[in-house]
Chains A and B, each alone.
Chain A
Amino acid sequence: MNFLNDPINFVASWLHGLLTGWRLPDGLATVIVYFIGIVVLVIFAMTLDIGLVWVERKVVARFQDRLGPNRIGPFGLIQPVADIIKLVIKEDITPAGADKIIYNIAPVLAAMSVIALWAILPLSSKIFGVDLNVAVLYLVAAGALGTLAIIMAGWSSNNKYALLGAFRMVANIVSYEIPMVVTLLIPVILADTMSVQGITQAQSGMWFAILSPLAAIIFLISAIAELGRSPFDLTEAESELTAGFNVEYSGMKFGWFYASELLHAFTYGGFMAVMFFGGYGGFFGLETIPGFHWLTNPFVEALVFIAKGMLGYWVIMWIKYSMPRIRIDHMLAFNWKFLTPLSLVVLVDTAVLSKLLSGLPAWEYVLGMFLSNVIIAVITVEILRGYGRKQRLAEERLPAQAVHN
């Protein structure tokens, strides 16, 4: 065991040795080492978050044909630091009639629900918080805490816009949780495990995005809804609700909501990579060829993972900055009448086919899974087209009748 092959365990065992060397009891030393590990992980996540502020502002500027921050530091790189200083020294306002304790806990809980996800995020085969055997469910559970934070913020602000924003957000999250959970089951079926390490390793030969592209797309859509980003940002809808659930927050308390939203988006980009794009691995067997063995180095894997996560984050931003906001009834109808049935069909298809085809050679298995997804997609598009046609004809007929009468 050396630093390059297994950095976390190397440092942890060194620290543990150091602490027990100071005559600390073994149990206490373990607790201290774990605690330091948690603090380091959180600091890493939050430092990355500062970078994400810059990335987000630069990328949105490119999408909108602007330059973005470019005054402070090279390429505006120090801009987020200036932003943070501004947020920290701003006056902290608590509205009259606000429920003070809940109002102050809400931003902490919002940030906590995102950082909790980092406990299971597998940065590489050796760098990760914990390899839970229920990691996929843990992802959903952390989302539940985020919902709670939004309700608390919206209710305690004593502001009708904040409360309306919170209601919309919860309607959004509660409904899109269903296709998300269903599509999360698909990697679980394909990998035969719920641990994120297991799911990543099961994709070393073939990404699940190729075995089940529909599931990957549904997961992306429901992840965007879960994040409350455009086109599902009804919770913020600044033209209707001023800013939604966080309208009353100022200074760093607003900063926590903002930071946790950005980190959440990146984290979901990372989970997108874990569930469907091979996570830190998934080199299609390239790493077994001599000369490419360095791909399995933990640091290389972590870089690959962050690159894939950033790519997912970029796709989420791309959609956010090029789609208009959808109406709330459209949003709910899209979920309940389209995404949920479709995800259930894909789930049943994956469960049945992966058992039926499991004996076949690898390429036939992959082709079969992929083709079944294509067939489902074609049928879905045909049904949608028929439905749209019927509606269009009905609309054309109505004014015609009015003229005849």
Chain B
Amino acid sequence: MSRFVMVIDTRRCVGCHDCVVACKTENSVPEGYCRDWITEEVHGAFPTVQLEIRSERCNHCDNPPCVSCCPTGASHVHERGGVVLVTHEKCIGCKACLAACPYDARFIHPDGYADKCTFCIHRAEKGLDPACVSVCPTHCMHFGDLDDPEAEVSRLLNSRPHHVLMPDAGTKPCIFYLT
């Protein structure tokens, strides 16, 4: 068994969008759409205002509502790494998965099917990092198997404070942000 996760160090991310460009190139994401994006969150009250820059995408949740609501089984959890994927030939374009995702991580591809980040599963199966991780100039993104205690992602999560997005949504996301 393996559980692919992504760990992103928000103290290193500068929001350069290299990950976004790499994803669009690697996965031929159509113009005007994106599978990953940069979010800047400013919070606090002056003078203790904090800025967090995050590279966001599908969270490949452990409890994915997009999979449980899919009427055709097109949205499914891949046997390798628990990655959430969409089989294009099974998708009818009902958009229930878009409504079910609290992160709004999905979109309708111009060809009609639901599309989103795949954790570059075609690369991961060859032992490579996803395109976004491999190009990051600040090395703020880490990808690996959480079930392997020796993996870098496991060591980082054991040693650094971190959070996930919208934990109250109950989806158990698998992208962790180091703070």
Bound together: no
Binding site for B on A (CB under 8 A): none
